[in-house]
């Protein structure tokens, strides 16, 4: 059997994991959730969840991946056997569904880069809304989806070192630099102080009043943004060596991801307030596109700022999408003996086809996203946390201690965080997520079916 690939350098792994974590979740999903869930109140709960739930859950996946050096399906078969191996299938299915619409949103982003270059952002909400619907559904959206998916296939097809590691070495520093530059620009806008008040001064009363909304949204977002719950971090950690400190690497990855999401808020909200857009109305998948275009259309040089901003989002989305595809591809290579390029091309094409409905009608984005993100992703995270926290905790504690000079009692703190708070919060989140999905299926989606069939 051919030698399994590994990362060439430590930074290679960290950059790839940061590249996976930083994506549409940070720059598209995070700001609209902050807008929708009440600004700073959401931010506080989110930060708390990233530290107390997200970070421990990331180490859970690292431990499984590095211990086995296998893809998620193989890893769970080796460590747990029995029913646990099927969890790997849930991961693969989740990655499959998420990538299918993630790529469509990636295609929208590409389209908005183009609109910027043509100086075409419409400067009022209604016009921008029309522009979004036109760009986001129909043939144009299918084309964008195809271009985005082709880029993902090309990078993953080249493999770990020549494809993924090489690509992220350029992409991740570029994302960080441009994001900081844009935040400094946003600081100079007239709406900045109002924006900071909305974004940065939390109201505890608001958290208490809306916790049933804020809690699942924040927990789901913490998972999505850190690429947890579907084996992406298991897969990436399976390519690293034993000599590395997982806790330290995890801290860097979580820290950078959070920094970029936070910075995205520092960019988006000043632009909104300056352009007279109310962030509380930024609801749904189109929010960031519509509101930004409306605000940018009014700014001098808005087209340039928009082009750079959407260009950065496109790069970030690409470096995340490659990790989604790698989960499925690594399985086909390790367990089915397929050749990398063939596996990538076949799976990539199937995912493209599965995503087509979401490019044709926006209602399918919700149908896919609510199911994959709020239910499957959280379910995957819950199961792997139960597995690591309660079933193989001795192995896990041994693994987390490797490559670490002295973790002291932190290993125990970690395992207990996983055993109780992580599991309880994920359980509550999934419970609320199933309810929400049921409401969607019997409400909006049933309406859509009634009108279209």
Q: Which residues bind ligand PFF (CB under 6 A)?
A: 20-21, 23-26, 95, 98, 224-225, 227, 230, 232, 320, 323-324
Nearest partner of 429 among 205, 228, 255, 206, judged by Cα:
228
Nearest partner of 67 among 449, 395, 310, judged by Cα:
395
Shortest distance (Å) from residue 103 CB to ligand PFF? 12
Shortest distance (Å) from residue 25 CB to ligand PFF? 2
Quick one: 214 or 318, whose CB is closer to ligand PFF? Answer: 318
> What are the tokens at 361?
């009608």
Shortest distance (Å) from residue 303 CB to ligand PFF? 25
Quick one: 136 or 294, whose CB is closer to ligand PFF? Answer: 136
Shortest distance (Å) from residue 166 CB to ligand PFF? 19
Q: CB neighbours (10 Å) of residue 212?
A: 10
Contacts 24+ apart (CB under 8 A), 92-96: 92/231, 92/327, 92/328, 92/331, 93/376, 94/229, 94/230, 94/372, 94/376, 94/377, 94/380, 95/230, 95/231, 95/232, 95/324, 95/325, 95/327, 95/328, 96/328, 96/350, 96/351, 96/354
Quick one: 28 or 84, whose CB is closer to ligand PFF? Answer: 28
Shortest distance (Å) from residue 44 CB to ligand PFF? 20
Shortest distance (Å) from residue 226 CB to ligand PFF? 6
Nearest partner of 382 among 416, 417, 414, 425, judged by Cα:
425
CA angle 205, 208, 212 (to 5 degrees): 145
Quick one: 23 or 107, whose CB is closer to ligand PFF? Answer: 23
Shortest distance (Å) from residue 3 CB to ligand PFF? 26
Quick one: 95 or 265, whose CB is closer to ligand PFF? Answer: 95
Quick one: 224 or 331, whose CB is closer to ligand PFF? Answer: 224
Quick one: 227 or 307, whose CB is closer to ligand PFF? Answer: 227
Residue, CB closest to ligand PFF: 25
Shortest distance (Å) from residue 315 CB to ligand PFF? 12
Quick one: 98 or 426, whose CB is closer to ligand PFF? Answer: 98
Phi, psi of 23 (to 5 degrees): -165, -150
Quick one: 50 or 207, whose CB is closer to ligand PFF? Answer: 50
The CA distance from 390 to 327, in Å, is 25
CA angle 440, 99, 228 (to 5 degrees): 85
Shortest distance (Å) from residue 253 CB to ligand PFF? 11
> What are the tokens at 257?
């991801």
């Amino acid at each position: 059997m051919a030698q399994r690939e590994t990362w060439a350098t430590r930074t290679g792994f960290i950059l790839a994991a940061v590249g996976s974590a930083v994506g549409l979740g940070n720059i598209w999903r995070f700001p609209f959730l902050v807008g929708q869930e009440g600004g700073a109140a959401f931010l506080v709960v989110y930060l708390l969840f990233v530290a107390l739930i997200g970070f421990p859950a990331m180490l859970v996946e690292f431990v499984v991946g590095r211990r086995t050096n296998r893809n998620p399906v193989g890893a769970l078969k080796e460590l747990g056997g029995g029913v646990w191996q099927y969890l790997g299938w849930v991961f693969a299915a989740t990655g499959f569904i998420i990538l299918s619409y993630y790529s469509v949103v990636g295609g929208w982003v590409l389209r908005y880069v183009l609109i910027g270059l043509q100086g075409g952002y419409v400067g009022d909400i209604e016009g921008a809304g029309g522009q979004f619907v036109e760009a986001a559904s129909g043939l144009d959206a299918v084309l964008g989806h195809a271009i985005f998916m082709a880029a993902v296939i090309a990078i993953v097809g080249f493999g770990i070192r020549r494809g993924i590691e090489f690509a992220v070495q350029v992409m991740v520093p570029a994302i960080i630099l441009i994001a900081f530059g844009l935040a400094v620009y946003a600081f100079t806008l007239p709406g900045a102080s109002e924006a900071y008040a909305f974004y940065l001064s939390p109201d505890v009363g608001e958290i208490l009043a809306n916790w049933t909304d804020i809690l699942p949204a924040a927990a789901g977002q913490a998972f999505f943004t850190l690429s947890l719950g579907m084996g992406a971090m298991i897969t990436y950690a399976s390519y690293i060596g034993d000599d590395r400190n997982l806790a330290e690497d995890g801290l860097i990855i979580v820290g950078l991801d959070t920094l970029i999401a936070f910075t995205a808020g520092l960019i988006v909200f000043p632009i909104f307030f300056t352009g007279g857009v109310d962030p509380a109305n930024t609801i749904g998948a189109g929010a960031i596109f519509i509101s930004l275009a409306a605000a940018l259309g009014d700014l001098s040089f808005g087209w340039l700022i928009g082009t750079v901003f959407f260009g950065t989002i496109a790069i970030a989305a690409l470096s995340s999408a490659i990790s989604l595809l790698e989960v499925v591809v690594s399985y086909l290579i390790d367990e089915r003996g397929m050749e990398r390029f063939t596996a990538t091309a076949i799976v990539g094409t199937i995912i493209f086809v599965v995503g087509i409905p979401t490019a044709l009608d926006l209602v399918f984005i919700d149908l896919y996203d609510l199911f994959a993100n709020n239910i499957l992703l959280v379910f995957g995270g819950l199961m792997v946390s139960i597995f690591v926290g309660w079933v193989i905790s001795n192995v896990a504690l041994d693994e987390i201690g490797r490559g670490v000079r002295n973790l002291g009692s932190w290993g125990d703190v970690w395992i207990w965080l996983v055993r109780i708070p992580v599991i309880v919060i994920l359980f509550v989140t999934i419970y609320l997520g199933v309810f929400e999905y049921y409401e969607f299926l019997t409400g909006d989606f049933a309406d859509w079916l009634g009108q279209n069939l």
